[in-house]
Structure 1
């Protein structure tokens, strides 16, 4: 019956509330006299009934005027309670005044008794309904524990109490001064009590509400929570909540960046201002994971204009729209130039740089996915080596002041074509730096970034949501990891330190075992790894074997004698370089081999060049392997003729 009324349309509920108050008010009036006279009172005087009628009509009118019937009972606020108290107070005054003016035989203390009874009937009935609704909803909502009893945690609890999904049952906080306190009916517990709380309430989810806590603190908390049988989720960044870009009740899965990330070091504004502020900056590969983050940070340092150079139409559209929104939100005066094109078109690059007067170039365009480059050797070399060369030559002709190459740790003693091509690109810039003095070239080398295209983190997250298995190439494979924002920030600063031909290396922190990373992600999503020790687990980890060109660990330095810089997380490497004449001769041979799609020769050239390239697999180029299979079935004289024809075409 009660649920029937709860499901009525809004206007019918309002009518029902008016009817209920129309019954409660006369009952309170009558009882007030009964209590005062201490006997069952039968009103025989019409003046008393007339006073009752005036009081009822005026009270309902006052309630309507105060908006009491517009308040949703299940979300009853302080405003509604104030409306009840105000309306009942006015009602008591009307009762007193009407009985006095009409000279009705009403005891003088009856209006005071009526005030208390009316407050109990009108306000109490609403509180009872509210409690019933909340109790009913509480049974249907998922129980959660909130980690953090500060401002963020309290705001989150408020939002969840009003929502339909989650029911907070307890707070957990590291701050001992808060432990034992009660906020909104929830006790604050020590983290040590988490296991008991999980068992007591049958909770499967913990919501992290620690505001803008530094990465180091978040990392410690997550490492403590990781072994517990509970799914950990978090709320949006408070800056996003304040700015309106997100709501505090928007719960999301924990980011692995919180587990692996480090506290950032404040950037040097002077370094960034010298080469970005009021300058014309160009980013190649502007729509990629690193390129797009470089663009976001460059825009905030107020360049005169930013040229977004990108081959992918969709990526260019996406980053341009995002930056337009950012520029408008921050009120920046930055002219954005979305330009489509390939880094393999030198003339196009030169025209763009001269047209816009580009002063600083960040070259992030590259093919970086190791297995894909192994399967597409010529395109990988064309894009990574010749794309860098052509972009650099265009920069020299356009009199660009600074050119920064985004390199990789896979360029150190490479075992794959991707790493060898990036090391070759470094040698190209070192050679060009010796050939001329107008454009300052430097390279910044770092490892994997979390969440970039090809990163294992989004892949693992998708696999976990699908129920597994998680695919890891080898149980002992380890990698460096860094967040995209930190990598981009350090790139911008390192690029402004070089004198010409410098190779900078970013401090990537500690290496991470990929299998351990997978296990942590499984545990933080409230699941268990399925293995021999735990056959009842949820997610299995499958080892697929190293992919073509992949090695167990990566390095950041070829030599062992790096130089420090003014920044604690940026080092300067001492690497072998070649003269431009030597580099140009190698490029000529590479170019001819690429023209005839001779992958064997391309790899031989890379191996013979002092790159430290030692491939750990057979040539895996898909087209080359297919052509070799077909060629093997042709007579020797036909294969010889075809090879000669290809050579003539290249010449």
Structure 2
């Protein structure tokens, strides 16, 4: 399956998106001559991004920076033109050495498992906060043109340490955007990435026949396919200026419906884990006041510190205000139907370790 077939399967705005990035005024054409640095590039979205860039812009120079040598080995075999560099975002000197000479930075690296964030909070702090600060400082020092920071819905009014670290990453990115006007910064908030390692969809896809443990069947989660994650990254690269927050249009699903889609009948309810909540939210009530929708495709929380930039955004990109906050709450947002969940469970071409299947 090519990236484009997979994109059409997963993306709910494929037609408009493809027109947007393929038109004569396409700002993404510059990617073909840029050097792109991806932290955490062996994860689910990272691999999907590498696949897209390799197929669409084969002359783009791509560096994947991560800690997992095995995943890098597999990825480099599949895409031999990319450059894989072992390193940790905690190591500022190594990061500076590796990032020098690049133009665009996409920061995907993070520790993400909510329960582990509660039990090993200091490790999450080192990677997700200090590592992000290292990346922002180094990017500023070496003159990176564009920086994209990947956040999460769990950063909104966080109930977990993981969510708190992602909120800190957002605030740090906004701080550096104020300090360094020569660099364009963007923030992306996603829901659960479909079949990413450790996600509920991954666990369900790979479960055996024994009794399946669930926290609460009434839980709801926002969900996004890896190709849709790539879509919003590319849109952020096009439109990002000063730490605007980009949110793709996402449906949510109820855990009970996902269990039906997977034909899992025997379950035991174990209750919410530490730091976990029943439902997720994508923006706060205060953020709703500065949230705008771009046509019918994605949402932008615009920068309020610069009223001129805010006005320019609204006029240039034909943004319209958002009045219904329910779409940003997983309990009330439009739901994926059981049939849609079955399609996603059966047709994803991304394995749990983030490496695409043949």
- TM-score by structure 2 length? 0.76
| Contact kept in structure 1, 2:105 and 2:144, CA below 8 Å | yes
Please tell me whether residue 381 in structure 1 is matched to residue 125 in structure 2: yes
Report what 1:277 is aligned to. Answer: 32
> Larger helix proportion, structure 1 or 2?
1
When residues 561 and 322 of structure 1 are mapped into structure 2, their CA distance, relative to the original with a 3 A threshold, is farther
Taking only aligned residues, the RMSD between alpha carbons, in angstroms, comes to 2.4
Aligned partner of residue 495 in structure 1, secondary structure: helix
> Aligned equivalents of 1:485 and 1:316: distance in 2?
20
Please tell me whether residue 545 in structure 1 is matched to residue 291 in structure 2: no
> Aligned equivalents of 2:68 and 2:253: distance in 1?
32
> Aligned equivalents of 1:462 and 1:300: distance in 2?
29
Aligned partner of residue 259 in structure 2, secondary structure: helix
> Aligned equivalents of 2:53 and 2:227: distance in 1?
11
Report what 1:319 is aligned to. Answer: 75
Please tell me whether residue 310 in structure 1 is matched to residue 66 in structure 2: yes
> Aligned equivalents of 2:186 and 2:193: distance in 1?
20
| Contact kept in structure 2, 1:362 and 1:405, CA below 8 Å | yes
Please tell me whether residue 264 in structure 1 is matched to residue 5 in structure 2: no
Aligned partner of residue 512 in structure 1, secondary structure: strand
Superposed CA deviations along residues 215-272 of structure 1, whole A, max 9, x for unmatched, are: xxxxxxxxxxxxxxxxxxxxxx5x69xxxxxxxxxxxxxx9x97x8746343332142
> Aligned equivalents of 2:190 and 2:168: distance in 1?
16
Report what 2:245 is aligned to. Answer: 503
> Aligned equivalents of 1:567 and 1:398: distance in 2?
36
| Contact kept in structure 1, 2:242 and 2:303, CA below 8 Å | no
> Aligned equivalents of 1:494 and 1:570: distance in 2?
10
> Aligned equivalents of 2:229 and 2:131: distance in 1?
22
State the Cα distance separating 1:519 from its structure 2 match. 1.1
State the Cα distance separating 1:462 from its structure 2 match. 2.5
> Aligned equivalents of 2:14 and 2:119: distance in 1?
37
> Aligned equivalents of 1:459 and 1:471: distance in 2?
10
Report what 2:49 is aligned to. Answer: 294
Please tell me whether residue 344 in structure 1 is matched to residue 83 in structure 2: no
When residues 574 and 543 of structure 1 are mapped into structure 2, their CA distance, relative to the original with a 3 A threshold, is farther
Please tell me whether residue 399 in structure 1 is matched to residue 155 in structure 2: no
Please tell me whether residue 459 in structure 1 is matched to residue 185 in structure 2: no
The structure showing larger relative contact order (alpha-carbon pairs under 8 Å, at least 6 residues apart) is 2
Please tell me whether residue 488 in structure 1 is matched to residue 233 in structure 2: no
State the Cα distance separating 1:566 from its structure 2 match. 4.4
Report what 2:340 is aligned to. Answer: none
Report what 1:518 is aligned to. Answer: 259
Counterpart among 271, 281, 285 of residue 555 in structure 1: 281
Aligned partner of residue 480 in structure 1, secondary structure: strand
Q: How does 1:614-629 map to 2 (within 5 A)?
A: none
Report what 2:333 is aligned to. Answer: none
- TM-score by structure 1 length? 0.43
> Aligned equivalents of 1:543 and 1:278: distance in 2?
52
State the Cα distance separating 1:417 from its structure 2 match. 0.4
State the Cα distance separating 1:313 from its structure 2 match. 0.8
State the Cα distance separating 1:399 from its structure 2 match. 0.5
> Aligned equivalents of 1:401 and 1:359: distance in 2?
5
Q: How does 1:594-605 map to 2 (within 5 A)?
A: none
Which runs of at least 4 in structure 1 moved beyond 6 Å after TM superposition? Answer: none
| Contact kept in structure 2, 1:368 and 1:418, CA below 8 Å | yes
